[in-house]
Amino acid sequence: MNEKLTGGPAEKKESAPRVRFAPSPTGHLHIGTARTALFNWLFARRYGGRFILRVEDTDRARSTKAFEDSIIESLQWLGLNWDEGPDIGGEFGPYRQSERLKIYKEYAEQLLKDGVAYYCYCSQRELENERKRALDEGRMSMYGGRCRNLTVAERRLHELADNPKVIRFNVQKHNSSKIKYNDLIKGEISISPEVVGDFIIMKADSMPTYNFAAVVDDLTMSITHVLRGDDHITNSVRQIMLYNALRKPAPTYGHFSMILGSDKAKLSKRHGATSITEYRDRGYLPEAIINYLSLLSWSAGTEKEIFSLKELAEEFSIERVSKSPAIFDQGKLDWFNGRWLRELPAAVLAERITPFIAVAGYNVEEFDMEAIAMAIQSNLTTLAEAPAYARIFLEEVKYTPEVSEELDTDKAKEVIREIWERLEAAEEIDIDSAKTILKETVAVMKTKGIKGRDIYHPLRLALTGETSGPELFFVINALGRRRAVACLRRLLDGN
């Protein structure tokens, strides 16, 4: 093999693993693909290795820069940073396949020269007829090798006729026995070359196919471990064949089981949101998604369920990844999201709910968003719920006839007047002062024989118009002194 090929494999400078995440920019980052990125990231960080982002954009019809940007933004939002990639570069670049075409061409030409690849001139009609014959005869459909042994004269006739051609890999050349490898997750896997037809490595438009480009990229980028979904198991066999033909050692492979929906079918749109952008826009936290995805097919071996990304990087081990498919449970993700929301400092939660409240049509600059965040924090499952829970602080209180009737009693008015006077006299309001005012109001009301629900219920109705909601000290703090006083004054004045 010519070691002077463009982008040839560099000498490894360290024994630490080099793993890659290589999405195709043909859509947004799927939740299952995000788990693959996460497990690769954790593997690299756990063992002091390198995490490489590579964009596999050779599908020219479907790949777009917009989808590439979306994938990158989703990874950044999840907190999965990379050490080399198309946006930051690195010594093994370029990191977009569309920018590596010269490298693929040179490797393909070398395989042709070595006799382990050949030009195929078969038309689509001929291939389709061959496929139909195989199916009619009950045989496995694969390329029969018609162009494998063309004579020089036969090839010349095709060239003179300018017939479209692809380059196929000669599977039988060096693969007479079963291809075996030890999968990090699945264990030993073996497949007979007889069930693998001579597959295409370079298409008629001179673009590489997935398997060939992946091998050339992994080889020239010194990738040590390829960790991906188990829908790639047959691809790994083809790739090992290519490594054998190139006389280079293959990386270590590991294949994660699929993520399935509750009906045990492959996770899809009918199960709900499937992309990271959808979950972000629906108000899920990256911390919650990372935490939940980490537990789909992996376990720390303890009862612990809540993990930060840093903790996962310290505890992750490929040995604890399950062979069995993972079932995606939307309810469990909601539980994780609610748990992480309740852990956020009020100032951080305020920042995260603000865009959702603004989109709902409220002028967020008019309100104390941190106080509102504190009031609704325990109710939230997603950030998108914030406008509904915060409405009582964002709009003028409206009373139904039933509520107005409950508030139009001497007892209710006495309670309302007592707390109004205390709020009116206060210089400012915060959580502590609101608690103090409530405590003092309760103490005075008790001396007048008014207790419990007869105090808190009319106060809640007066301040929110609702029969339930956050603790009253949160309500007073979120409304603020000025608005709370004005609201109570209107009631006392009969407006």
* Residue at token pair 């407006």: 495
Residue 90, token pair as written in the block: 């690195």
**pLDDT tens by residue, 72-126:** 999 999 999 999 999 999 999 999 999 999 999 999 999 999 999 999 999 888 8
CA–CA gap between residue 145 and residue 172 (Å, rounded) = 10
Contact residues for 290 (Cβ-Cβ < 8 A; gap 6+): 38, 78, 79, 309, 312
Across 14-18, 207-211, 484-488, least confident range: 14-18
Give the model's pLDDT for residue 175: 64
How much of the chain, in percent, has pLDDT values that exceed 70? 95
Closest CA to 23 of 60, 53, 66, 45: 53
CA–CA gap between residue 307 and residue 294 (Å, rounded) = 9
Residue 84, token pair as written in the block: 């080399």
CA distances from 265 to 151, 255, 271, 294, 326 (A): 49, 19, 9, 20, 11
Give the model's pLDDT for residue 2: 43
Give the model's pLDDT for residue 13: 42
Contact residues for 448 (Cβ-Cβ < 8 A; gap 6+): 414
More confident of the two residues 40 and 494? 40
pLDDT band for 270, please (50, 70, 90 cuts): low
CA–CA gap between residue 348 and residue 351 (Å, rounded) = 5
More confident of the two residues 8 and 196? 196
pLDDT > 60? residue 11: no
**pLDDT tens by residue, 123-178:** 888 888 888 887 877 777 788 888 999 999 999 999 999 899 999 999 987 666 78
Give the model's pLDDT for residue 272: 60
* Residue at token pair 């935490």: 291
Residue 131, token pair as written in the block: 């496929």
pLDDT band for 437, please (50, 70, 90 cuts): very high
Give the model's pLDDT for residue 455: 94
Give the mean pLDDT of the chain. Answer: 92
Check if the beta carbon of residue 188 is closer than 8 Å to that of residue 180: yes
pLDDT > 70? residue 271: no
Give the model's pLDDT for residue 232: 93
**pLDDT tens by residue, 353-362:** 999 999 999 9
Active-site amino acid positions:
269
Closest CA to 353 of 395, 378, 390, 394: 390
pLDDT band for 7, please (50, 70, 90 cuts): low
Give the model's pLDDT for residue 138: 73
CA atoms within 13 A on the CB side of 487: 27
Give the model's pLDDT for residue 41: 98
**Three-state secondary structure string covering the chain:** CCCCCCCCCCCCCCCCCEEEECCCCCCCCEHHHHHHHHHHHHHHHHCCCEEEECECCCCCCCCCHHHHHHHHHHHHHHCCCCCEECCCECCCCCCEHHHCHHHHHHHHHHHHHCCCEEEECCCHHHHHHHHHHHHHCCCCCCCCCCCCCCCHHHHHHHHHCCCCCEEEECHHHHCCCCEEEEECCCEEEEECHHHCCCCEEECCCCCECHHHHHHHHHHHCCCCEEEEEHHHHHHHHHHHHHHHHHCCCCCEEEEECCEECCCCCECCHHHCCCEHHHHHHCCCCHHHHHHHHHCCCECCCCCCCCCCHHHHHHHCCHHHECCCCEECCHHHHHHHHHHHHHHCCHHHHHHHHHHHHHHCCCCHHHCCHHHHHHHHHHHCCCHHHHHHHHHHHHCCCCCCHHHHHHHCCHHHHHHHHHHHHHHHHCCCCCHHHHHHHHHHHHHHHHHCCCCCHHHHHHHHHHHHCCCCCCCHHHHHHHHHHHHHHHHHHHHHCCC
Residue type, 347: A
**pLDDT tens by residue, 364-422:** 999 999 999 999 999 999 999 999 999 999 999 999 999 999 999 999 999 999 999 99
Q: What is the pTM of this model?
A: 0.90
CA–CA gap between residue 55 and residue 210 (Å, rounded) = 12
**pLDDT tens by residue, 277-311:** 999 999 999 999 999 999 999 998 898 999 999 99
Residue 174, token pair as written in the block: 């060096």
Alpha-carbon torsion angle 176, 241, 244, 16, nearest 10: -140
Give the model's pLDDT for residue 174: 66
pLDDT > 60? residue 263: yes
Give the model's pLDDT for residue 1: 45
Strands 166-169 and 117-120: antiparallel
